[in-house]
Copies of this chain bind each other. A is one copy, B any other.
């Protein structure tokens, strides 16, 4: 067990923006929330599963919606506590810990505020270790763990609890509700025992995220050798440095969908096209897929090395496209059907970025 310091939170926020892989919502808003929560309720304790009762209940909490809406509709904060309390009441049990549903984007940070307010520890694990646009896209789904009972709450007092026969139906029901409730709401889902989290989730996600953030901050500070050190830690690779020549973005079916086209800074004949659905999904260089989901496609500002979310991209923006390999847990059986390119409707095979043609 250790307590999160404010420096930890800065690193987590930077790492989470990167792991948001173009989406996940801007963690900056969540950072303000967690700072306030720690001031009001005291520090957040980070624990591993072996520090908890194996039969204890773990609940998650997250923002659900479209990032394009999230930047205009700031969370009130009360909806997350509302979602967790409503699910705990439905289950008739109190949680022993909170876990992020995704370590990537603002949903990395939001559970910290809930943990602070409820006086519960946060588990150093998650079921994605990146952001994904849909609720069923977790290694818990691979393990057969239901996403429901799930609760949804908004800041006005609307509350929903539901049980779905599959995690795919859970996603559809949640999305349908969220479209009605303004596209920025709180959920609590995947109620599980500590033992299930120990057996099936991705361990150490928060530590990984904070370390990524720490190393990226060194890049931003201009520390010599920091960029190589950052890429080495993450097994990452810089694929492209380009200027945005086209950005197409629309909010449809409860998601922010679109395409970014980059022209290479040094060679105007080279182009990269990145398709996203909240998060970046596929990067094509000259029409050939070079980074494919579940691997991570991250945009870094070419000058500042700041991770850039798709809603912030503008024409003329100079960006580096960095690929990071997905968590090894995503190489388990069934992963590609759940989170591979075809799961998002692309007629493209997954090619691990480590083996992609340069």
Contact = CB atoms under 8 A, between A and B. Distances in A.
A180 B160 CA distance: 15
A346 interface: no
Contact of A163 (B159, B163, B177): B159
A47 B163 CA distance: 34
Contacts of A169: 158, 180-181
Contacts of A176: 176-177, 179-180
Contacts of A180: 169, 172-173, 176
B172 A165 contact: no
B165 A173 contact: no
A179 to B, nearest CB: 6
A90 B165 contact: no
A265 interface: no
A164 interface: yes
A328 interface: no
A162 interface: yes
A161 interface: yes
A92 to B, nearest CB: 10
Interface string A148-179: 00001000111111111100010011001101
B158 A160 contact: no
Contacts of A90: 90, 161
Contacts of A172: 180
A334 B164 CA distance: 37
A173 B181 contact: yes
26 contacts: A90-B90, A152-B162, A157-B163, A157-B165, A158-B162, A158-B163, A158-B165, A158-B169, A159-B163, A160-B160, A160-B161, A160-B163, A160-B173, A161-B161, A161-B162, A162-B162, A162-B177, A169-B180, A169-B181, A173-B177, A173-B180, A173-B181, A176-B177, A176-B179, A176-B180, A177-B177
Interface of A: 90, 152, 156-165, 169, 172-173, 176-177, 179-181
